Structure 1
Amino acid sequence: MRKLLICTGALALGLAADAQDIQNNPGSNHGNKFEQLGTILPTPNEYRTASGAPGSKYWQQRADYDIKCTLDEKNTRLTGSETISYYNNSPDALTYLWLQLDENEHSNSKNANYQDGSSLRNGAIDINTLDKLQEQKTENGYGDNITKITDITGKKLAFTVNKTMMRVELPATLKPGEKFVFNVDWNYKISDRMKLGGRGGYELFPEDGNMLFTMTQWYPRLCVYSDFQGWQNHQFTGRGEFALTFGNFKVQMTVPADHFVGGTGECQNYQQVLDAAHFARWQKAQTSKEPVQIVTLDEAKKAEGSQSSATKTWIFKADMVRDFAWTSSRKFIWDAMPAFVEGKKVMCMSFYGKEAYNLYSKFSTKAVAHTIKSYSKFTFPYPYPVAQSIEAANGMEYPMICFNYGRTEKDGTYSEATKNGMLGVIIHEVGHNFFPMIVNSDERQWTWMDEGLNTFVEYLTEELYDNKFPSKRGPAYSITDYMKMPKNQLEPIMTNSENIIQFGPNAYSKPATGLNILRETIMGRDLFDYAFKEYARRWAFKHPTPADLFRTMEDASGEDLDWFWRGWFYSIEACDIALDSVKGFQFDPNGQVKFPVMGRRGEASADGMRGLDKPAVNNFEDISKIRNREDKNIHFLTDVDTTLRDFYWKYDRGIAAYDSTYKFKATSPFMLDALTDADKQKYAGKFIYELSFSNKGGLVMPVIVQWTFADGTKEVDRIPAQIWRKDENHVTKLFLKDKEVTGVLLDPMRETADIDENNNSWPKVEAQSKFSIYKMKQAARGQSTGLNPMQKAAQ
Structure 2
Amino acid sequence: MKNIRYLFLSIILLPGTILAQVDEQRHGNRFEQLGPMLRSPNVYRTASGAPGHQYWQQKADYEIEVELNDDNQSIRGKEKVTYYNQSPDPLDYLWLQLDQNQRDSDSETPKISSNSIQPKMSLGQLQDIIWHDMDLGLKIYSVLDDQGNEIPSTVNHTMMRLDLARPLMPGESFTFHIEWSFNIHDRMSFIGGRPGYEYFEGDGNYLYTMSEWFPRMAVYSDFEGWQNKQFVGRGEFALVFGDYEVAITVPADHMVGATGVLQNPEEVLSSKEMERWNQAKSSYDEPVVIRTQGEAEKLEKGKSTAKKTWVYHADNVRDFAWTSSRKFIWDAMAVKLGGKDVMAMSYYAKEANPLWEQYSTRVVAHTLKSYSSRTFDYPYPVAISVEATNGMEYPMICFNYGRPDSDGTYTAAIKYGMISVIIHEVGHNFFPMIVNSDERQWTWMDEGLNTFMQFLAEQEWERNYPSRRGPAHKIAPYMSSEKHLLEPIMTNSENIIQFGPNAYAKPATALNILRETVMGRELFDHAFKTYAQRWMFKHPTPDDLFRTLEDASAVDLDWFWRGWFYGTDPVDMAIQDVKWYKIDSKKPVEVKADQREAYEREESYISKTRNATAIPETFVEKDPKAADFYNSYDRFTVGPEDEKAYNDFINGLSSNERGMLESGLNFYEISFENIGGLVMPIILEFQYEDGSSEVERIPAQIWRLDEYEVSKVFAKEKVVTQIILDPYRETADIDEGNNYWPRQFQPSRFEMFKQQLPARGTSTGPNPMKKKR
Smaller-chain TM-score bracket:
0.7 to 0.9
Question: Counterparts of 1:160 and 1:94 in 2: how far apart (Å)?
Answer: 16
Question: Counterparts of 1:582 and 1:197 in 2: how far apart (Å)?
Answer: 56
Query: Among residues 50, 55, 72, which one is paired with 1:75 in the alignment?
Result: 72
The corresponding residue for 1:784 is: 763
The corresponding residue for 2:171 is: 177
Aligned 8 A contact 1:409 1:785 in 2: no
Structure 1 residue 623: Cα displacement: 7.3
Query: Among residues 220, 245, 249, which one is paired with 1:225 in the alignment?
Result: 220
The corresponding residue for 1:153 is: 147
Aligned 8 A contact 2:349 2:387 in 1: yes
Aligned 8 A contact 2:296 2:328 in 1: yes
The corresponding residue for 2:521 is: 525
> What does the per-residue CA deviation read over 1:289-310, in whole Å, with 9 as the maximum and x for residues that have no partner?
3111100010111111111111
Task: Work out whether 1:286 is the aligned partner of 2:281.
Answer: yes
Flag the 1:668–1:272 CA change in 2: closer, same or farther, 3 A: farther
Query: Among residues 220, 230, 235, which one is paired with 2:230 in the alignment?
Result: 235
Task: Work out whether 1:56 is the aligned partner of 2:53.
Answer: yes
2:574 partner SS: coil
Task: Work out whether 1:572 is the aligned partner of 2:572.
Answer: no
The corresponding residue for 2:384 is: 388
> What does the per-residue CA deviation read over 1:303-335, in whole Å, with 9 as the maximum and x for residues that have no partner?
111111110000000000000000000000000
The corresponding residue for 2:425 is: 429
The corresponding residue for 1:474 is: 470
Question: Counterparts of 1:521 and 1:135 in 2: how far apart (Å)?
Answer: 48
Task: Work out whether 1:330 is the aligned partner of 2:326.
Answer: yes
Structure 1 unaligned segments of length 5 or more: list them.
Answer: 1-25, 587-619, 625-665, 671-778
Structure 1 residue 580: Cα displacement: 2.2
Aligned 8 A contact 1:668 1:786 in 2: no
Question: Counterparts of 2:564 and 2:128 in 1: how far apart (Å)?
Answer: 39
> What does the per-residue CA deviation read over 1:613-641, in whole Å, with 9 as the maximum and x for residues that have no partner?
xxxxxxx98779xxxxxxxxxxxxxxxxx
Question: Counterparts of 1:116 and 1:792 in 2: how far apart (Å)?
Answer: 44
The corresponding residue for 2:608 is: none
Task: Work out whether 1:349 is the aligned partner of 2:328.
Answer: no
Q: How does 1:761-772 map to 2 (within 5 A)?
A: none
Name the aligned partner's letter for residue 184 of structure 1.
I
> What does the per-residue CA deviation read over 1:88-118, in whole Å, with 9 as the maximum and x for residues that have no partner?
0001000110000011111121445551222
> What does the per-residue CA deviation read over 1:52-77, in whole Å, with 9 as the maximum and x for residues that have no partner?
00001100000000000000010111
Structure 1 residue 133: Cα displacement: 2.1
Task: Work out whether 1:108 is the aligned partner of 2:105.
Answer: yes
Task: Work out whether 1:251 is the aligned partner of 2:239.
Answer: no
Question: Counterparts of 1:567 and 1:125 in 2: how far apart (Å)?
Answer: 41
1:440 partner SS: coil
Q: How does 1:543-692 map to 2 (within 5 A)?
A: 543-581=539-577
How many residue pairs are counted as aligned between the two chains? 582
More helix by share: 2
Q: How does 1:493-504 map to 2 (within 5 A)?
A: 493-504=489-500
Aligned 8 A contact 1:249 1:318 in 2: yes
The corresponding residue for 2:303 is: 307
Flag the 1:355–1:516 CA change in 2: closer, same or farther, 3 A: same
Name the aligned partner's letter for residue 185 of structure 2.
S
Question: Counterparts of 1:454 and 1:135 in 2: how far apart (Å)?
Answer: 33
Task: Work out whether 1:265 is the aligned partner of 2:260.
Answer: yes
The corresponding residue for 2:313 is: 317
Question: Counterparts of 1:328 and 1:292 in 2: how far apart (Å)?
Answer: 20
1:32 partner SS: coil
Structure 1 residue 583: Cα displacement: 8.7
Question: Counterparts of 1:110 and 1:193 in 2: how far apart (Å)?
Answer: 17
Question: Counterparts of 1:621 and 1:186 in 2: how far apart (Å)?
Answer: 57
Flag the 1:786–1:548 CA change in 2: closer, same or farther, 3 A: closer
Q: How does 1:129-148 map to 2 (within 5 A)?
A: 129-136=125-132, 138=133, 140-148=134-142
Task: Work out whether 1:446 is the aligned partner of 2:453.
Answer: no
Task: Work out whether 1:168 is the aligned partner of 2:162.
Answer: yes
Flag the 1:355–1:161 CA change in 2: closer, same or farther, 3 A: same
Question: Counterparts of 1:465 and 1:517 in 2: how far apart (Å)?
Answer: 21
- Please give the TM-score of this superposition, normalised by the length of structure 2: 0.74
Question: Counterparts of 1:512 and 1:668 in 2: how far apart (Å)?
Answer: 27
> What does the per-residue CA deviation read over 1:729-758, in whole Å, with 9 as the maximum and x for residues that have no partner?
xxxxxxxxxxxxxxxxxxxxxxxxxxxxxx
Question: Counterparts of 1:235 and 1:365 in 2: how far apart (Å)?
Answer: 35
The corresponding residue for 2:531 is: 535
Question: Counterparts of 1:464 and 1:622 in 2: how far apart (Å)?
Answer: 21
> What does the per-residue CA deviation read over 1:124-155, in whole Å, with 9 as the maximum and x for residues that have no partner?
2122222332343x4x2110000001000111
Q: How does 1:190-209 map to 2 (within 5 A)?
A: 190-195=184-189, 196-209=191-204
> What does the per-residue CA deviation read over 1:740-794, in whole Å, with 9 as the maximum and x for residues that have no partner?
xxxxxxxxxxxxxxxxxxxxxxxxxxxxxxxxxxxxxxx6x31213650111122
Structure 2 unaligned segments of length 5 or more: list them.
Answer: 1-22, 581-686, 688-726, 732-753
Name the aligned partner's letter for residue 141 of structure 1.
D
Structure 1 residue 262: Cα displacement: 0.3
The corresponding residue for 1:773 is: none
CA RMSD of aligned residues (A): 1.9
Aligned 8 A contact 1:150 1:156 in 2: yes
Name the aligned partner's letter for residue 40 of structure 1.
M
Question: Which has the larger displacement, 561-570 or 29-38?
Answer: 29-38
The corresponding residue for 2:455 is: 459
Task: Work out whether 1:214 is the aligned partner of 2:209.
Answer: yes
Question: Counterparts of 1:134 and 1:560 in 2: how far apart (Å)?
Answer: 52
Flag the 1:668–1:293 CA change in 2: closer, same or farther, 3 A: farther
> What does the per-residue CA deviation read over 1:680-724, in whole Å, with 9 as the maximum and x for residues that have no partner?
xxxxxxxxxxxxxxxxxxxxxxxxxxxxxxxxxxxxxxxxxxxxx
Question: Counterparts of 1:44 and 1:431 in 2: how far apart (Å)?
Answer: 30
2:357 partner SS: helix
1:253 partner SS: strand
Question: Counterparts of 1:468 and 1:303 in 2: how far apart (Å)?
Answer: 41
Query: Among residues 56, 62, 65, which one is paired with 1:65 in the alignment?
Result: 62
Identity of aligned residues (%): 59
Name the aligned partner's letter for residue 792 of structure 1.
K
Question: Counterparts of 2:755 and 2:497 in 1: how far apart (Å)?
Answer: 29
1:573 partner SS: coil
The corresponding residue for 1:97 is: 94
The corresponding residue for 2:182 is: 188
- Please give the TM-score of this superposition, normalised by the length of structure 1: 0.72
Aligned 8 A contact 1:112 1:164 in 2: no
Task: Work out whether 1:509 is the aligned partner of 2:510.
Answer: no
Flag the 1:254–1:621 CA change in 2: closer, same or farther, 3 A: farther
Structure 1 residue 227: Cα displacement: 0.3
Structure 1 residue 342: Cα displacement: 2.1
Structure 1 residue 120: Cα displacement: 3.5
The corresponding residue for 1:44 is: 41
Please say which structure displays the higher CA radius of gyration: 2
Name the aligned partner's letter for residue 68 of structure 1.
E
The corresponding residue for 1:117 is: 114
